[in-house]
Amino acid sequence: MNRFANKRVLVTGGAGFLGSHLCERLLQEGADVLCIDNFFTGSKRNILHLLDNPYFELMRHDVTFPLYVEVDTIFNLACPASPVHYQVDPVQTTKTSVHGAINMLGLAKRLRARIMQASTSEVYGDPRVHPQGEEYWGNVNPIGPRSCYDEGKRCAETLFFDYHRQHRLRIKVARIFNTYGPRMHPNDGRVVSNFIVQALRGDPITVYGDGTQSRSFCYVDDMVEGFMRLMNAPDEFTGPVNLGNPGEFTMLELARKVIDLTHSRSSIAHAPLPTDDPRQRRPDITLAREQLDWEPRIALEEGLHRTIAYFDALLSGRE
């Protein structure tokens, strides 16, 4: 059953990378979409193609301030996601997660709306358990440079579950693992966009540390499908649920793949490893498979092809 047809759906952070793809998908499903964003890391360019659609509405708004609108469903994605961006103004990052969650939960409570939180694999910190299952409580530094993001997201999860227990709110919590695809910000410092842009320009590929740290990369369309299934799941299923691609690669492997696929002459240049950079990360997606019948369909190579085509067009002024 399509639960989104004719529903009023709010997407916070809707002009960002994941948000813009989600807005697009919701419109395809017949929803009436309200996108709010303060354009900190997102851009009008990401949603330019949606602005003519009468079922799409854009509002400039910062989630750290209360919002009074009427909707049925809320996807709370507002928050810078790349370490470079979330560390520019760490206090604002925590406020966005915590005050943003309080404001959006308050809105959901007044409207009795379903609400999904875009949480993160960062709640597991530098994990001691591998792969990471939802029952693992994590290994997070509370006072380091990544803490504004990690602890902000952890506190947001707490708020979601307290609103659920205290006010019987219908919540969904998605723990998103590294996701990539078209419309990532070319300068946001995340590894996939960095490597592709560097390879296309023929610049050295900056591998931090020795490049043996690992990540698992999910293509954006798979992630959006996960969001849709989670929001459509029965009320009893709140999550938290891991959403990500279990394929695991080291950063050196990723660098070599990107060089191969772009036919680039770039060399690999090692740079210092950032503080508290997690050593390894891979989702255990058993719960998502069982409860949502969801698993990623797009393999890394295929997803990289599509993302490379996007950045190629962007850098040559065609996008």
Q: Which residues are catalytic?
A: 149
The residue written with tokens 């036919």 in the block is 263
215 binds ligand UDP (CB under 6 A): yes
CA-atom Rg of the chain in angstroms: 19
Pick the binder of ligand UDP from 55, 161, 208, 249 (CB under 6 A): 208
* C-alpha dist (Å) from residue 282 to 132, 192, 213, 237: 6, 16, 11, 22
Min dist CB 244 to ligand UDP, Å, is 11
* Partner interacting with residue 232 (select from ligand NAD, ligand UDP, none; CB below 5-8 Å by kind): none
> Which range of residues in 41-49, 107-115, 207-215, 224-232 is near ligand UDP by CB under 6 A?
207-215
* Contact map string, positions 73 to 112, toward ligand NAD, x by CB under 6 A: ----xxxxx--------------x---x------------
93 binds ligand UDP (CB under 6 A): no
Q: Which is nearer to ligand UDP, 6 or 187 (CB)?
A: 187
25 binds ligand UDP (CB under 6 A): no
Q: Which is nearer to ligand NAD, 13 or 131 (CB)?
A: 13
Q: Which is nearer to ligand UDP, 90 or 274 (CB)?
A: 274
b (16+ CB within 10 A) / e for 8-17: bbbbbbbbbb
Q: Strand locations in 225-291, DSSP E?
A: 241-243, 248-250, 268-271
Pick the binder of ligand UDP from 73, 96, 117, 178 (CB under 6 A): 178
CA distance 15 to 79: 11
Beta carbons of 155 and 98 less than 8 angstroms apart: yes
Pick the binder of ligand UDP from 194, 262, 266, 307 (CB under 6 A): 194
> Which range of residues in 15-23, 198-206, 208-216, 228-236 is near ligand NAD by CB under 6 A?
15-23
Q: How many C-beta neighbours within 10 Å does residue 6 have?
A: 10
CA distance 99 to 287: 29
Pick the binder of ligand NAD from 178, 194, 216, 266 (CB under 6 A): 178
Beta bridge partners of 56: 33
Q: How much of the chain is helix, strand and coil, in % rounded to 5?
A: 40, 20, 40
220 binds ligand UDP (CB under 6 A): no
CA distance 243 to 203: 32
Beta carbons of 100 and 64 less than 8 angstroms apart: yes
Extract the tokens encoding 232: 């459509």
The closest alpha carbon to 231, from 173, 163, 159, 145, belongs to 173
One-letter amino acid for residue 121 of the chain: S
Q: Which is nearer to ligand NAD, 59 or 313 (CB)?
A: 59
Beta carbons of 279 and 126 less than 8 angstroms apart: yes
22 binds ligand NAD (CB under 6 A): no
The three-class DSSP label of residue 176 is strand
207 binds ligand UDP (CB under 6 A): yes
Min dist CB 66 to ligand UDP, Å, is 30
152 binds ligand UDP (CB under 6 A): no
* Partner interacting with residue 16 (select from ligand UDP, ligand NAD, none; CB below 5-8 Å by kind): ligand NAD
The residue written with tokens 């419309």 in the block is 183
Residues in contact with ligand NAD by CB under 6 A are 12-13, 15-19, 37-42, 62-64, 77-81, 96, 100, 118, 120, 176, 178-179
Residues in contact with ligand UDP by CB under 6 A are 82-83, 178, 189-191, 194, 206-208, 213, 215, 251, 273-274, 277
